[in-house]
Amino acid sequence: MNFLIAMILSALLGALGGSHAAERAIKNRLESQFHPRTVKVDISRGHRSPTSKTLDRLQIDLEGFKANPTPGGAPGLEIKPGDALMVGRINRVAVNASDFEVAGLPVREMSLSLVNLRYDLWRLLIKRRLRVLSFENRSEVSVTLTEASLQRYLAPRVKELEGMDLDLLPGRVRVSGRVGVSLLQVPLSISGRLEPAGGRIYLRDPEMAVTVVPVPGFITERIIAQVNPLVDLNQDLAMPISLRLRRITVSPSGLSVTAGLAPAS
């Protein structure tokens, strides 16, 4: 998810340094990068002049696309606190994305809010380089995943469980299926709570339910190792931005997570 946010930042800041109308330039860049089913861009300048270096609000809506890390990453994007000879400012960047896939993970919706985004406008205009100077700590991203999307994402990884099924329960997650014990296929389920660690989500305190046929401990350990981490929001460590989980909510309707944003360390 971190590389998707970096690519969106790269697209919108790169477009602001061009000579064309900002809305059209941002839309063209997003369409070129992600090929979304729909994309909308709206810029509010308040009572400021069209040439003002400050934007009140930049709203982007994306739907139906796939995003995968590329060797080039987010070209020229840098997140480095500091000041600049000429500073551009966007009081609020809001990005709403739905029905998309990022690095093989199907996502129902994502909501990104960047508050008081400051960037090096001089460097952008003169050198065509993208440098984010700062954004407020209350900037965050929220992501919602469905039960079906998580199962589709995890099933190829959890090779120990045949016919793997995933269930989202209030505050917990359960994975179940069949494991081979001697010549038998034994039904097994493992449930546990979810715990954030940086940008990752782990299954913790697992509880196992099995039939009368005992399952060796090394098999359940392998299953848990294949499940964890369920999700890693920082898939691309080369990106200049990282996500830190703040809240996780698990219910039968989906898994919702909220993370803060920070420069990659």
Q: What is the pLDDT of residues 52-73, one digit of tens each?
A: 678 899 999 999 999 987 665 5
Which token pair is 225? 């190792």
- Tens digit of each residue's pLDDT (9 = 90 or more) over 111-141: 999 999 999 998 888 888 889 999 999 999 9
Q: At residue 195, what are phi and psi to the nearest 5 degrees?
A: -130, 130
pLDDT in the model for residue 58: 94
The sign of the torsion formed by the CA atoms of 155, 160, 163, 166 equals negative
CB 118 within 8 A of CB 134: yes
pLDDT in the model for residue 239: 80
* Per-residue confidence band for 244, with pLDDT thresholds at 50, 70 and 90: very high
pLDDT in the model for residue 18: 57
Kindly state the average pLDDT of the residues 3-23.
81
pLDDT in the model for residue 185: 80
Q: At residue 58, what are phi and psi to the nearest 5 degrees?
A: -125, 115
Kindly state the average pLDDT of the residues 250-262.
94
CB 227 within 8 A of CB 176: no
pLDDT in the model for residue 13: 86
Cα gap 173→194, rounded to integer Å: 7
Cα gap 3→242, rounded to integer Å: 9
148-231 — its CATH code? Answer: 3.10.450
pTM of the model: 0.89
**170 prior amide bond cis, ω within 30:** no
Across 12-21, 77-86, 193-202, which has the greatest mean pLDDT?
A: 193-202
pLDDT in the model for residue 138: 94
pLDDT in the model for residue 106: 95
pLDDT in the model for residue 214: 78
**Residue extent(s) of CATH 3.10.450 domains in the chain:** 148-231
- Tens digit of each residue's pLDDT (9 = 90 or more) over 151-202: 999 999 999 899 999 999 999 999 999 888 777 788 899 999 999 999 999 9
